[in-house]
């Protein structure tokens, strides 16, 4: 059955200048293991496309079973400059959580090699 990342995790987005962060917080230890193995920074950047124009960095928090993604150049210049209706990027966590998730999904490296 097709699932979304949202079925494995919840999250919240925040802004600092033109940098957005999206937390991806696992709903279970199994989900966290899967996220850690497969939800790489490269995959997140590829999925978000024009929502994350710059580098994407991933941080791991084993203690609370969460990942934190930091997206450079993700807010059209930041809240004080952005022409977007959601200039603060409050909705961006939802964008990432809409990723379709297959438990058998190949690793990003394999995907990129294809």
Question: In the complex, which residues of this chain contact another protein (CB under 8 A)?
Answer: 10-12, 14-19, 21, 23, 25, 47-51, 57, 59-64, 66, 68, 70, 72, 77-81, 83-86, 90-91, 93-95, 97-98
Give whichever of 3 and 81 is closer to another protein, judged by the CB atom. 81
Q: How far is CA 57 from the centre of its chain?
A: 10
Per the listing, tokens 């939802």 go with 94
| 57 SS3 class | strand
Q: In the bound complex, what is the minimum distance in angstroms from residue 79's beta carbon to another protein?
A: 5
Give whichever of 81 and 103 is closer to another protein, judged by the CB atom. 81
Which residues, at least 6 apart from 83, have a Cβ–Cβ distance to it below 8 Å? Answer: 76
Q: In the bound complex, what is the minimum distance in angstroms from residue 16's beta carbon to another protein?
A: 6
Q: How far is CA 38 from the centre of its chain?
A: 12
């Amino acid at each position: 059955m097709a699932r979304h990342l949202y079925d494995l995790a919840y999250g919240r987005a925040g802004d600092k200048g033109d940098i957005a962060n999206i937390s991806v917080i696992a709903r279970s230890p199994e989900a966290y293991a899967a996220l850690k193995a497969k939800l790489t920074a490269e995959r997140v950047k590829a999925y978000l496309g024009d929502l994350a124009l710059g580098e994407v960095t991933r941080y791991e928090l084993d203690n609370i079973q969460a990942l934190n993604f930091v997206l450079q150049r993700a807010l059209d210049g930041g809240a004080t400059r952005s022409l977007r209706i959601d200039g603060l990027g409050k909705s961006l966590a939802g964008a990432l959580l809409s990723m379709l998730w297959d438990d058998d999904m190949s690793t990003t490296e394999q995907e990129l090699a294809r």
